[in-house]
Amino acid sequence: MEKHKRAKMWLTHPYKWGQKYSLWPVHFCTGCGAIEMPPTMLAPYDASRFGMGPMASPRQANLLLITGYMTTKTLKYVIRTYEQMLTPRYVLSFGSCPIDGGLYYTSYNTINHLEWYLPVDVWIAGCMPRPEAFLMGVNRLMEEIEAGRADGYKRYEENIDYYRRNQERTLGKEFLAELKQVEWLT
């Protein structure tokens, strides 16, 4: 049955298979989770088995990994990076900090709700999630892509006023003005 389902999907939605098995994370890490990335990408976890390979340039990547807490300064670079990426693009966030601030909930310079600024497709809870949890998150993202539910990039475009308001509140008008000067937004 499963075989038939997959054959039907291949025939009717080959592009979804392409998207599902072509995840290119941009080589950009935030917070403590950066430490988990080398073992995840290399042996013994070997993330390339899942069709993943880190890309140096956001313009050639479609997966943004938020690997831990984010300061307001880092958030600026994360938003710039996200907006340069190809669509469909996905955000996978791990660790408690991007969800609700985690250990840094009361910190004056750490953001505690990533979802206010960028659309997240898959969350992985924990402090810090191990590589196994990260790969489970990747599998979950693949399922969401296959089901057509990994639509964070559409939410971003449709609700851009909401995201811009939150970005301006935290990062200031100057940041939005800088963004507007950048070629990919004009």
CB 81 within 8 A of CB 109: no
Window of 11-19, 53-61, 94-102, 161-169 that interacts with ligand SF4 by CB under 6 A: 94-102
Copy the structure tokens of residue 85. 């990426």
Window of 18-26, 95-103, 116-124, 160-168 that interacts with ligand SF4 by CB under 6 A: 95-103
What is the Cα–Cα distance from 72 to 83, expressed in whole angstroms? 17
Does residue number 136 form part of the binding site for ligand SF4 (CB under 6 A)? no
Q: Which of 37, 79, 97, 135 binds ligand SF4 (CB under 6 A)?
A: 97
Q: Which of 52, 65, 128, 171 binds ligand SF4 (CB under 6 A)?
A: 128
Window of 2-10, 93-101, 147-155, 161-169 that interacts with ligand SF4 by CB under 6 A: 93-101
Task: State the nearest-atom distance from the C-beta of 66 to ligand SF4, in Å.
Answer: 9
Would you give the binding string for ligand SF4 spanning residues 42-81, x where CB under 6 A is met? --------------------------xx------------
Q: CA 26 → CA 32, 92, 114, 121, 172, distances in Å?
A: 17, 11, 18, 16, 26
Does residue number 127 form part of the binding site for ligand SF4 (CB under 6 A)? yes
Burial environment of residue 117 by CB neighbours within 10 A (0 to 12, 13 to 18, 19 or more): buried
Closest CA to 65 of 118, 15, 132, 144: 118
